[in-house]
Chain A
């Protein structure tokens, strides 16, 4: 258990503090905000993929659910932002609960079905027939709660909570049980682990993380179209960043985001045409040569990575 405290001190505190202090030296706060969102999302993917082995190819569905949950509370009920965030996160949880039957499927089928589910949610939300409820394809425009500074603070809180969850998983019996399920479902069951229940809990945690991220994003951006918050790009980036850094660890996804998303912004600003090409090639190379992520390089030298 003391490892948990160590990691909180060595990882969670510095990271959150860094993002809290950076805006005072680097004024593009939006960029920092995006970094936070991606770290949170990558960790969310980490929770479900790294720990249970299910790849949520429709992960952005929870993000969008959170964003819309938040927005609808503000639009229709003029709710205060913090209440709206809670509702947004709950929307993501509800969606996750609805999708639990997907666990009957394995591997690729689960991922495809998850993707289809996220796309289905987008189609439903963006449908003009639901314009009175969700503003359909015309997008959300929130006025009255616009407060980037406070939203940034909320993002910091979500970051702290997410890192804590992952640290907890990394060092707890629960996390160990999840990894056992990932390696061999049948043996894990025989060892007395309640496979279904543990998996669902991990799934809900992962969805909660994305839902919180989505709510905070909606608060910060305040103007967006449905395609923006249901964009497959969020899923892809989150998965790639997590894989690149290394899943089932705490630092892996953080490393992945900082390095890859950092490159994305640097390159994206100077040579954008080749950007998609570089990124795609990077992904291919990653899978072929470093499938367990960066931290696996470190692990090979025998160092245990938190």
Chain B
């Protein structure tokens, strides 16, 4: 039972890493609190759902589609909203409220268009891809179904999202630390004013990061029907709060921090479910507060925060 809980926590935690990656990027670069993060995730989930139900498109190819679509949405959205916001008296606080309003708008539109009922995608869809990958990797034919890890069996979807998350972390890391654009992005993350002074086109960098953030949220959304049971237009709010906990526990700006944050969250959540099940939902909030008070720069903390 212990092994299962631990492994489940790892896999599930990886999913939350994926969710937190986008938020981390946005908050780190722009100090903007994207309270609509969960709602973009929801949009990604519905995109996967409709592509599957209407055109029988498997979720795997939907992943890059979701990413690109929301990258393209995020870029202009940034220019529409953020520059005005940053000129106001208290941008951080106002961004809270603005993105909350945006979140309500997105939820309302989704509810009007699609109704409130739960939707799902059969788990077998991802299972096929996972089976194919595993067969390729291990050389044996793996069946479409639950995956065996150290003798414990897990839904294939969890493994798929774990893999996707790992890839996501590596991609973001590579982007930030190995590309020129990422280098500039990190400069903006450390100090926006100095970056402007150095002649960096801060708005463009931020817009790209914002687009990436939304794209990553949408990608996480594609996995949501499998990891979160079912999807509804109102699912975003809860996801947003938990993803905040994840990125805060890790540390801002560093994708490895989000990885750690996700794992910590996932494992503790699973343990809570096993031993103190009715208190399980208390956990992310306590973790968040504890980390903010005890180790404000996060577990991997590097000083980028004034407290």
Contact = CB atoms under 8 A, between A and B. Distances in A.
A–B in direct contact per CB < 8 Å: yes
Interface of A: 49, 53, 55, 57, 101-102, 104-109, 111-113, 115-117, 119-120, 123-124, 127-129, 232, 236, 239-240, 243, 273-277, 279-284, 286-288, 291-292
Nearest to A183: B89
Contact of A239 (B89, B97, B108, B109): B97
A109 B292 contact: yes
Interface stretch (B13-21, B58-66, B121-129, B280-288): B280-288
Contact of B278 (A49, A57, A117, A128): A128
B278 A108 contact: no
Contact of B307 (A106, A129, A287): A106
B174 to A, nearest CB: 28
A119 B102 CA distance: 22
Nearest to A275: B108
Nearest to B105: A280
B78 to A, nearest CB: 13
A102 B288 CA distance: 12
Contacts of B108: 274-277, 280
Given A280-B105, A287-B88, 15 more contacts: A104-B296, A105-B293, A105-B307, A106-B307, A108-B92, A113-B293, A116-B244, A116-B285, A120-B282, A123-B279, A273-B112, A283-B100, A287-B98, A291-B88, A291-B94
B296 A109 contact: yes
26 contacts: A104-B293, A105-B292, A105-B296, A106-B306, A106-B307, A108-B93, A109-B305, A111-B33, A112-B288, A116-B286, A117-B285, A239-B97, A274-B108, A276-B107, A276-B111, A277-B108, A280-B103, A280-B104, A281-B105, A283-B97, A283-B98, A283-B101, A283-B104, A284-B101, A286-B101, A288-B84
Contacts of B31: 108
Nearest to A280: B104
Interface in B257-307: 278-279, 281-282, 284-286, 288-289, 292-293, 296, 305-307
B257 to A, nearest CB: 15
Contacts, number: 134
A217 B288 CA distance: 30
Contacts of B248: 109, 112
B289 A116 contact: yes
B81 interface: yes
A111 B32 CA distance: 13
A103 B125 CA distance: 48
B245 interface: yes
B285 A55 contact: no
Given A112-B288, A119-B285, A276-B111, A107 B93 contact: yes
B85 interface: yes
A232 B104 CA distance: 13
A209 to B, nearest CB: 20
A55 B93 contact: yes
A127 B237 CA distance: 21
A120 B242 CA distance: 12
Nearest to B287: A116
B4 interface: no
